Amino acid sequence: MSSSNSPLSLVVPVAIIALILLRRQGVRQGATLDLAPKQRLRPLAMVWIDPLLAFLFAGEMLWTLIARDVMHGIAALTGIAVGIGAGYARGRVVYVRAVPEHSSIVIRRNAIEYALLAGLLVLRMAEDAIAKTHAPILTYALCGLIALAISESIARAATLTVQFRRDKAEMSHAGPPPVEPGV
Q: How confident is the model at residue 2 (pLDDT cuts 50, 70, 90)?
A: very low
How far apart CA 110 and CA 39 sit, in angstroms, is 9
What CA–CA distances, in Å, run from 24 to 31, 45, 85? 11, 13, 30
Encode pLDDT of 64-118 as tens digits: 999 999 999 999 999 999 999 989 988 998 898 999 998 999 998 767 767 766 7
Closest CA to 172 of 96, 94, 101: 101
- Using the predicted structure, report yes or no on whether residue 26 has a pLDDT greater than 70: yes
Can you spell out the DSSP letters for 23-81?
A: HHHHHHHHTTS-PPTTEEEEEHHHHHHHHHHHHHHHHHHHHHHHTT-HHHHHHHHHHHH
What pLDDT score does 53 carry?
A: 85
What pLDDT score does 1 carry?
A: 45
- Using the predicted structure, report yes or no on whether residue 127 has a pLDDT greater than 90: no
CB 156, CB 87: distance < 8 Å = yes
CB 117, CB 54: distance < 8 Å = yes
**What are 171-176's contacts with CB under 8 Å, separation 24+?**
171/98, 171/100, 172/100
Give CA angle at 119 (115, 123), nearest 5°: 175
pTM of the model: 0.77
How far apart CA 13 and CA 139 sit, in angstroms, is 28
Q: How many CA atoms lie within 13 A of 150 on its CB side?
A: 26
> Burial of 164 by CB count in 10 Å (0-12 exposed, 13-18 middle, 19+ buried)?
buried
What is the average pLDDT value for the chain, to the nearest integer?
Answer: 83
CB 140, CB 177: distance < 8 Å = no
